[in-house]
Structure 1
Amino acid sequence: MPASRSDSVDTSVLALVAGLRQHYSDVVLPLWRTTGYNPELQLPYEAVDSARLQVMPVTRYRAMACARQLYVHTMAGATEHAARLFDSLRKRFAHSEGGWMYSIDAEGVALDQTHDLYTYAFVIFACAAHYRVTRDRRALDLLGETAGQVETRFTAPAGLYWAQLKPDLSGPLLDVQQNPVMHLTEAYLAARDATGDAGFTTALQRVIGGMARTFLHGPTQCITELRVGVPDNRIEPGHQFEWLALARSAPDVFGDTVLGDALEHAFKFAQAQGVDMATDGVCAALDLRGEIIDPTQRIWAQTEYARALAVHGDPAVGALLKRQLQRLRERFLQPRGWYECLDADGMVARSDMPSTTPYHLATSYEALPAA
C-alpha cells in the first residue's frame, strides 16, 4: 500500500512522487490497454518498441507477463481490463497436468509447457491482489490451488523450491535459484494479507531459513543468485534492495532471523559497490568481491533502489530518495513510456518496453510517500 504522508516529508519529494504516478497512469498503463494489448487473445504483447510505439515481433506470450499485467491493472482500478486478463490467464495457460504452462506461441498454441516457479509465484501474487480488490472468489480459489501445487510439486531440500520442473512433473529441470524464491516470498506475503491464512506465515519462515542456509554469502552478507559455492555466482544489487523492501513489509516474519539481520549489510554493500554515485544508476551484477561484472542499468533495479530508500527507516538513507526519484525521471522515463536499459555511459541499450516492467513501477510507487 502507498505510504501515508508524514509531516517530515519534503514537499518537493511529494511533488516528484505525484509526477511519477501521473506519468504511470497517463502514459504507461494506457499503452497496455491499447497498442500493447492483443484483443483477439486478450493478452498483453511481450513488448512494444519505445520509439515507434509498435508491437515488437511476436513469438510467444508468457503466463508470467499476463499475471504481472493482471496485478498492475487490478491495483490501478481498471477492473474490466483486469477481469479480461484474469479470464485469459485461466483459459490460455492452463496446463494439461494442472497448474500453469510457461508460454504459448503467437497463435495461442502451447509452446513451453515447463512448470516454472517464477510463473506460479506471479499467478499467486496477481490472484491475491485481484481477490483483495474485487472479492472475486475464483481468484481466491486459484490462489489456493496454485499455492498447493507449489507445495506439493516444487518442494526441494533445505526448505526451498526447485526453479523449474519437467512438463510431465517427473523431476526438476533447474536447481533452486534466488529469484524465483524471492518472488514466491513476495507472493506468499500477498496471499497471507489477502486470506489471513497462517499457513503462509509458516511457509515463509521456512523459506527465510532456507535462504539464509543456501544463498547468504558470508563475506558480503548478500544474497547470491545461485547457491553459495556454485561457480560463476553473482550478486545483483537490485535484488538486495528488493529483499530489503520485502523484509520491511513483514517484520513479524523477518525480524530476529539470520536473513533479516543480513539484509541491512546487503543493502549497504549493494549501495556502495553497485550504485554509480555520479548518476545514481544501479548496475546489473557484481562478482563476489564486489567488482562490477555487468554495468548495464535496468529500470527495474532503479525502481527497487527507490523502494528500498523509501522503506528503509533510517532518515539518513531516506534523504537520498529525492535524488534517486529525480534520476529515475530524468534518465529512464520518456514521454512515450520508459527506457528499459542504459549502458555504463548512460546510452539507451534496448529499444523495447516489456509488458513485465509496469509491475516494477507499480510496486515501487506504492511504497513512496503520498500527499
Structure 2
Amino acid sequence: MPDNQVVSSLKLQLIDHALPLWSIEGWDQDNGGFIERLDISGCADRNAPRRVRVQARQIYCYAKAAQLGWYPQGAEIARKGLEYLLAKAKSPDGKPGFVHLLAPDGSVLNPVRDTYDHAFVLLAFAALYQLDQDPQIRAEIDSLMVFFDSELRSPDGGYAEGVPASLPRRQNPQMHLFEALIACFDATHDQAFQARAGDLFGLFIASLYDGKKQVLGEYFEQDWSRIEPVSVEPGHQAEWVWLLKGFERITGCPTKRHRGELLASALRFRDATGCLVDEGDAEGRIHKASRRCWPQTEVAKAWIAQAEAGEAGAADEARAALVRLQTLYLSHPVKGGWYDQFDAEGRSLVEAIPASSFYHVLCAVAEADRVLG
C-alpha cells in the first residue's frame, strides 16, 4: 500500500466494512444497545456486560459518520443508541447521572457514576447535536453539565473520578472531558464551553504535565501531586497533541511548544515496528512492551495535528503511522474488525474484537481525511 493511498483506503474500509458490521452484528436486535465485543470470527458476544462509555462511543461514531456523509444511515443508528442509553443508563435508580455498567438485558450491574463515562456521554451528545441542532439534545448537554458541576467538580481542581470519589486521580477522565468540551463548542458555538476547556488546559499546564521531564503523568494524589514512580502512557501523550491543537483552534491560545514536547517524548516509546508501546516511565524506559491498537491511532492523529499546523515532514509521518495501523491492526480476517493488542513478539494477545476501539479508528481516519485526504 503506497503511503499516499492509505487515507482513501482506510476510509473505504470503514464505509464498506466497519460501519455496516458494527451497526448490524454489533447491535442487539432483541434487547437494544450496542454489543461490547465480537468474537474472533466476528459474531456478537451477547453475554458480555455493557460499559456505558462504549455505548456512548458507538453513538459518537455513527453520528460522526453521518455528519461526514460517509454513512447517512448512521444518524438513525446513533439515535437508536441514544434512546437505549437514556432509557437504561440515565438515573435508573432515581439519582442523577449515568450508571457505569449494564447487563445484556439492560439491567444495572454497577451503579457507580464514573467521570470517564460521562465525558464520553457528553461527546456523544455533542456529535448528535451537530447533526441537526435538536433542542432535546441541547437540554441533555445542559443537564449533564449541571451534573458535572454539582456532583463531580473537585475543590482541588478538575473533576473527581466519579461518585463516589476515589483515588488515585487520573489524567484520563480530565483529558476526555477536555475533548468533549471542545466538541461541545464546535457543536453549539457557546463560549461557556471554551471557558470550561480553558480550565482543564490550566490543569494540564499546572499539574498533569511535567514541563521539566516533558511527560504527562497518569496517576495523582487528591491535590494533583504526582504519584511516584510516574507511569507514562505514550498513547495519551500523543492524544494530548491532537487535543491541544483543537484547543488552539477554538481559543487562539498557542500550544505549539507543548505539542512538540509531548510528541517527541511519546516517540521515545517505540518498538522495532515503529509502533508505540503501552507504557514506560519518565526517564524514557519501556515498562510494558505490549502494544494496543489505540495508541497507534493517537500517534497518527498527533502527526495529523502537526501537519495541519504546518510542521515540516508531519504529513509523511502521519501517513506512515496510518500504514502501520492498517497493516498491523486493521488487516483482520473479519472485515471491519481489528486486532486489539500484540505482545513484544507480535503475537495477538486478545482474541475478541472490542467495540471500544472503533471510536479511536474512526476519529483517526476522519482527521486524516479532513487534513490529508
Q: Is the 8 A contact 2:3 2:323 kept in 1?
A: no
Q: Write the distance in 1 (CA, Å) between the matches of 2:186 and 2:312.
A: 28
Deviation at 1:322, TM superposition (A): 2.5
Corresponding residue of 2:261: 265
Q: Secondary structure at the match of 1:302?
A: helix
Q: Write the distance in 2 (CA, Å) between the matches of 1:309 and 1:360.
A: 15
Q: Is the 8 A contact 2:197 2:247 kept in 1?
A: no
Between 260-269 and 111-120, the greater mean CA deviation after superposition = 260-269
Corresponding residue of 2:280: 286
Work out which of the residue numbers 176, 185, 188 in structure 2 matches 1:195.
Answer: 188
Corresponding residue of 2:364: 364
The answer as to 2:300 corresponding to 1:306 is yes
The answer as to 2:87 corresponding to 1:91 is yes
Q: Is the 8 A contact 1:244 1:308 kept in 2?
A: yes
Q: Which amino acid aligns with 1:341?
A: Q
Work out which of the residue numbers 118, 127, 130 in structure 1 matches 2:128.
Answer: 130
Q: Which amino acid aligns with 1:126?
A: A
Q: Which amino acid aligns with 1:104?
A: L
The answer as to 2:244 corresponding to 1:250 is no
Q: Which amino acid aligns with 1:138?
A: Q
The answer as to 2:81 corresponding to 1:81 is no
Q: Write the distance in 2 (CA, Å) between the matches of 1:65 and 1:91.
A: 16
What TM-score comes out, normalization by structure 2 length? 0.89
Q: Secondary structure at the match of 1:345?
A: coil
Q: Is the 8 A contact 1:297 1:342 kept in 2?
A: yes
Corresponding residue of 1:343: 343
Q: Secondary structure at the match of 2:282?
A: coil
Q: Is the 8 A contact 1:68 1:122 kept in 2?
A: yes
Corresponding residue of 2:34: 44
Q: Is the 8 A contact 1:221 1:263 kept in 2?
A: no
The answer as to 2:172 corresponding to 1:179 is yes
Q: What count of residue pairs does the alignment treat as equivalent?
A: 351
The answer as to 2:63 corresponding to 1:69 is no
Q: Which amino acid aligns with 2:242?
A: A
Between 30-39 and 16-25, the greater mean CA deviation after superposition = 30-39
Q: Is the 8 A contact 1:27 1:335 kept in 2?
A: no
Q: Secondary structure at the match of 1:293?
A: strand
Q: Secondary structure at the match of 2:122?
A: helix
Percentage identity across paired residues of the two chains: 26
| Deviations, residues 295-354 of structure 1 (Å, cap 9, x unaligned) | 111111000111111111312233222322221111111241110111111111111111
For the aligned residue pairs, the C-alpha RMSD in angstroms reads 1.9
Shift of the 268–200 alpha-carbon distance from structure 1 to 2, 3 Å rule, reads same
Work out which of the residue numbers 212, 216, 222 in structure 2 matches 1:223.
Answer: 216
Work out which of the residue numbers 199, 206, 213 in structure 2 matches 1:206.
Answer: 199
Q: Secondary structure at the match of 2:99?
A: coil
Shift of the 254–241 alpha-carbon distance from structure 1 to 2, 3 Å rule, reads farther
Shift of the 254–269 alpha-carbon distance from structure 1 to 2, 3 Å rule, reads farther
Q: Which amino acid aligns with 2:367?
A: A
Q: Which amino acid aligns with 2:262?
A: A
Q: Is the 8 A contact 1:255 1:261 kept in 2?
A: no
Q: Write the distance in 2 (CA, Å) between the matches of 1:255 and 1:16.
A: 32
Corresponding residue of 1:3: none
Q: Is the 8 A contact 2:31 2:104 kept in 1?
A: no
What TM-score comes out, normalization by structure 1 length? 0.90
Between 71-80 and 260-269, the greater mean CA deviation after superposition = 260-269
Q: Which amino acid aligns with 1:220?
A: K
Give runs of ≥4 in structure 1 deviating > 3 Å.
Answer: 11-14
Q: Is the 8 A contact 2:61 2:362 kept in 1?
A: yes
| Structure 2: gaps (5+ residues) | 67-73
Q: Secondary structure at the match of 2:275?
A: coil
Q: Which amino acid aligns with 1:118?
A: Y
Shift of the 82–256 alpha-carbon distance from structure 1 to 2, 3 Å rule, reads closer
| Deviations, residues 23-62 of structure 1 (Å, cap 9, x unaligned) | 112221212122221112211111111x311223624112
Q: Write the distance in 2 (CA, Å) between the matches of 1:83 and 1:229.
A: 41
Q: Is the 8 A contact 2:214 2:261 kept in 1?
A: yes
Work out which of the residue numbers 323, 328, 331 in structure 1 matches 2:328.
Answer: 331
Q: Which amino acid aligns with 1:119?
A: D
Q: Which amino acid aligns with 1:245?
A: W
Corresponding residue of 1:318: 315
Q: Secondary structure at the match of 1:286?
A: strand
| Deviations, residues 216-238 of structure 1 (Å, cap 9, x unaligned) | 22432121111243134311111
Q: Which amino acid aligns with 2:239?
A: E
Work out which of the residue numbers 138, 141, 160 in structure 2 matches 1:140.
Answer: 138
Q: Is the 8 A contact 2:114 2:163 kept in 1?
A: yes
